[in-house]
Copies of this chain bind each other. A is one copy, B any other.
Amino acid sequence: MHQEEHLKSSDFITDMVIGMSDGLTVPFALAAGLSGAVSDNSIILTAGIAEIVAGCIAMGLGGYLAGKTEIEHYQSELSREYQEVDTVPEKEMEEVKEIFAEYGLSTQAQELIATELAKDKTKWVNFMMKFELGLEAPNPARARNSALTIGASYFVGGLLPLSAYLFTNTPEQGLIGSTILTVICLFVFGYFKSKVTGQPPVKGAFKVTLIGLLAAAAAFGIAKLVS
C-alpha cells in the first residue's frame, strides 16, 4: 500500500512487509474461523494451504503486474515529455515557471531556471518527470523481484500459523497452538516492521498483533454463525 514510501531505499524490505503482513494474518484467521466450524484438522490444513497458494499467486503476480505497469507508465510519460519538449518548448518552459511561482520565486528566478533547464533536453525531461509528474525511473528488475519477495513472504508467513494444525489432533488444540505461535510471530514481525519504517516499535507490534487477532476472532464468529 502506501505506508512504506520512506523505505524507497529498500524495495526488498517493503515487499517482504507487504507479503508477510497479509500472510501472517489471513491464513491464521481462516484456520481460526474453520476451527469453530469443522471437526477435522485435515479440512483446515487443506483450506489453509489452498488459501496460501491462492494468496501467494494473487499477491505475487499482482506485484509483478504492478511493477510492469509502473515501468510502462513511466516510459509512456517519458516519451510524451520528450515530444512536448520538442514540439511545444514554450509551453513546457511555462510549466517550469509555474512550479516555482507556487513557491514564491520571482519571475526573474523563474525565467532563469526555465532558460537554463532548456539547454539540456535530457535533464529538462528528467526534471519534468520528477517535479511536474512526481515520477522516478523505476528499477527494471523490480517487477520480478517484487513478485518473488511478496509471494515467498506470504507463503512463509502463512505456513507458520498453519503448522500448529499439523502437530495437533483436534481443531481446538490446533487453534490454541496456532494462536500462541501467531501472536509471537505477529509481535516480532510488527516490532521489526515498525523499526524499519521509523515508527515506535512496541506500539507498532501491538497494533499488528491486534489486527491479526481481530481478523481471527471475526472469522471465528462468522464461521460459527454460518455453519
A residues engaging B (CB < 8 A)?
A: 1-3, 5-6, 8, 18, 21-22, 25-26, 28-30, 32-34, 37-38, 42-43, 45-47, 49-51, 53-55, 57-59, 61-63, 65-67, 69-70, 72-73, 76-77, 100, 103-106, 108-109, 112-113, 116-117, 119-120, 123-124, 126-127, 131, 133-136, 146, 197-199, 207-208, 211-212, 214-216, 218-220, 222-223, 226-227
Copies of this polypeptide in the complex: 2
B131 touches A104 (CB 8 A): no
Residues of B contacting A119 in the complex (Cβ-Cβ under 8 angstroms): 104
B26 touches A51 (CB 8 A): yes
A58 touches B25 (CB 8 A): yes
Q: List 11 A-B contacts (CB under 8 A).
A: A1-B146, A2-B66, A26-B54, A46-B227, A50-B220, A50-B223, A53-B218, A53-B222, A103-B127, A105-B116, A109-B113
A73 to B126, CA, bound (A): 27
